[in-house]
Amino acid sequence: MIRAATVNDVATIRAMIHELAEYERAVEQVRATEEQLREALFGEHPAAFTLIAEDDETGEAVGFALWFPRFSTWTGTRGMHLEDLYVRESARGGGHGKALLASLAAICEERGYERFEWWVLAWNEPTIDFYKSLGVEFLDEWRICRLSGEPLRDLAGRATAGLDRISASCTAQ
C-alpha cells in the first residue's frame, strides 16, 4: 500500500533516511533532525512531500519517496524531482519501489508535470538495472553541480548590494 506520509511518520522517515545513507556509504553526511523534517514536510510552507510504502500484511513502513516540484523554462511547466527513494532491504523485490514510482508518476500525470527526474549513484548497478526495466532515460551528457560549505559562502560574499531587496522578493524557502 502506498499512502501520503503524515506528521506521525517523521521518526520513521528519519530512520529510513539514515538507512539509505548507510547503503549509499554516506551516513556521516546525514544531519537532518526530526524537527527539521517535521517543518520541511508538514510546516506552513512545505519544502517537499513524502509517500510511504507499507507492507500489506503487517502495515509496517518499508519504504518512502520524498519529492518536490521543480520548473522547466523549456517546457514552461512544473515537473517533479525525486530526492530520495528507499525500500528497506527486507522488503526489496516485493514491488514497493515500483509502486512508489508508479504513484509518483500518477501524481505527475494528475498535475500536468511533464518531467519526473532524479539522480542515481553511478556505482548502484542493482538500482540502475531496476530503473532500466521501467524504461528510464539516463541523461549521461548532464553533470550534477553542487556548491556547498566554504565555496558557497565565498560565492555568496561576492553578491552585490541590494541583496535585501532580492531576498525579500523571493517567496520560496
Looking at the annotation, which residues are catalytic?
Answer: 131
Partners of 116 in the beta sheet? Answer: 80
Which DSSP symbol is given to 113?
A: -
Task: Provide the edge-to-edge strand list for the sheet that holds 77-87.
Answer: 2-4, 49-54, 61-72, 77-87, 116-118
Q: At what angle do helices 10-23 and 34-42 cross, to 10 degrees?
A: 110
Judge contact between 119 and 75, C-beta under 8 A: no
Q: Which amino acid is at 132?
A: K
Please tell me the distance from the alpha carbon of residue 64 to that of residue 96, in angstroms, as a whole number: 9
